Amino acid sequence: MKKVIALVLVMMFCVSGLALADAKPEIRMGTNANFPPYEYHEYIDDVDKIVGIDAEIADAVAEYLGYTLVIDDMDFGAIITAVQTGKIDFGMAGMTVTEERLESVNFSSTYATGIQAIIVPEGSEIASADDLFVEGKNYIIGVQESTTGDLYCTWDIEDEGLGTVERFKNGADAVQALVTGKVDCVVIDNEPAKAFIAVNEGLTILETAYAVEDYAIAIAKENTELLDKINGALAALTEDGTIPAIIAKYIPAEEAAE
C-alpha cells in the first residue's frame, strides 16, 4: 500500500513538474477597451473578452515571445503611469507617439496609422477643421480625456480662447454628448469614429482630418530588453503577414481607403 502511495506521489510530482515546465510567464498589457476596432469588449460564448486589432496583435507578439498575454482594462489616461510604475509591461491602446509621451516612456516601431477625425451632426455649420478656429464661434468640442484629440484641441482652440473643450472618460460618452446636443463636434481617432457613427444615426465624419499620427506600443524607459524583443516580434509578424491580416480583418481595404 505504501508503495502504491509513494508511486502516486512520484507521478503527481512529475505531472505538476511537467505542468510547471509548460506554463509560460505572463506579460501584462494595459489598454482602454472602449476604442473599436482596436480594443473593445465582446461576449464570446457568454464570456466577456477584449478583442480588436491591438488585442490580437498583442496576443501574436506574446505568443511569438513565449508569454501568456494578460490584458488590464483601465482609463486611457492611466496607461503611461502604469507602464512607468511597472503595473503593466506595456501599453497598447491605439496610442499615438508624441514628443511629450516620449519623455515618459519608449515607443516600439509603429504598427498602424491613426487620423484625428471630426464627427458632427449631419447638416452642421462646421464643415471643415478650419471652421473650429474661427474667432467668435466658440464651439464646444467633445474629446476623450488625455488623448491627442484632447491635447490638440486644448492647445489650438481652448488655450487660444476660440472655444471650449469638454472631456469625457471614453469616446462613446463624447459621442453620446454629441447626439444629445451637449457638444458641437467630437475630435477622435478615425476608426473608432467610424464605429461610433455606425451605431448612432444622424452623425457624419468631416472629410478634413485634424491630424495624422502613428500608433505604437509604450514600454518603460528602463526596459530596453522588452523594447527590442517587441520590435523583433513586430518585424517578424509583419514580414510573415500576421499583422497585416489582423488589421485587414478589422479594417477591410475598401473601408480603409475611404
Q: Which is nearer to ligand GLN, 24 or 193 (CB)?
A: 193
| Smaller CB separation from ligand GLN, 139 or 210 | 210
Rounded to an integer, what distance in angstroms lies between the CA atom of residue 34 and that of residue 100?
23
Residue 124 identity (one-letter amino acid): S
Cβ 256 to ligand GLN shortest distance, Å: 16
Residue 20, all three cell numbers: 510547471
Q: Is 149 exposed, middle or buried (0-12, 13-18, 19+ CB in 10 A)?
A: buried
| DSSP string for residues in 176-233 | HHHHTTSSSEEEEEHHHHHHHHHTSTTEEE-SS-SEEEEE--EEETT-HHHHHHHHHH
Peptide bond into 36 cis (omega under 30): no
Q: Which is nearer to ligand GLN, 35 or 111 (CB)?
A: 35
Instruction: Provide the minimum distance between the beta carbon of 185 and ligand GLN in the complex, in angstroms, as a whole number.
Output: 16
Give me the least distance between CB of 38 and ligand GLN, in Å please: 7
SS3 label, residue 60: helix
Rounded CA gap, 223 and 253, in Å?
35
- Could you tell me the smallest distance in angstroms from the CB atom of residue 125 to ligand GLN? 26
Nearer to ligand GLN, 80 or 203 (CB): 80
Which residue, 96 or 242, is less far from ligand GLN as judged by CB? 96
Give the interface with ligand GLN as residue ranges (CB under 6 A): 32, 35, 76, 93-96, 114, 144, 147-148, 189
Half-sphere exposure of 131 (CA within 13 A, CB side): 16
Q: How far is the CB of 192 from ligand GLN (least distance, A)?
A: 7
